Amino acid sequence: MSIHLTEQRASNILVLRLSGKLARMDYLRFAPEFERHLRDHGKVRVLLEMIDFHGWETGGLWEDLKADLHHFTHLERIALVGDQRWERAMSLFCQPYTRARVRYFDRKDINRARAWLEEE
């Protein structure tokens, strides 16, 4: 699976690890867990860690865009963590699709990303 979700207990923070190339089926398996977390916590903060990430297949990109539009107001903060120039550019690209505050962090700064998500 290209999407791995980890919850921080008693927290509204989700850690998503993306790897490989995301397909439509990845989103279909992931969506119920994400929806449950939203029901449990309301607004959510996301640590999106990209490890050997190669983007999306066409169906995966479509599912991602639909999810972004559906959850436009449900996300408070998104910390993108990666090591590729195009991953940094994603932080700018995704801003029009969410009301969340979005920041990019290099992989070596993952602890700063976590601290930023935990701030009030």
Mean pLDDT of 89-101: 75
Q: Which of 1-10, 87-96, 99-108 has the lowest mean pLDDT?
A: 1-10
* CA–CA gap between residue 98 and residue 110 (Å, rounded): 22
Domains of the chain: 3-118 (3.40.50.10600)
Mean pLDDT of 85-109: 80
Tokens of 81: 């963590």
* CA–CA gap between residue 93 and residue 6 (Å, rounded): 25
Distances (CA, A) of 63 to 16, 95, 114: 16, 17, 26
Does the reported pTM lie above 0.85?
A: no
Best CA proximity match to 118, nearest among 33, 46, 35 = 46
pLDDT level of residue 10 (50, 70, 90 thresholds): low
% residues pLDDT > 70 (the chain): 77
Cβ atoms < 10 Å from Cβ of 98? 19
Helix orientation angle between 24-41 and 58-70, rounded to the nearest 10 degrees: 20
User: Which residue type, as a one-letter code, is found at position 88?
Assistant: R
- Residue 95, pLDDT score: 72
Tell me which residue has tokens 């490989």. 20
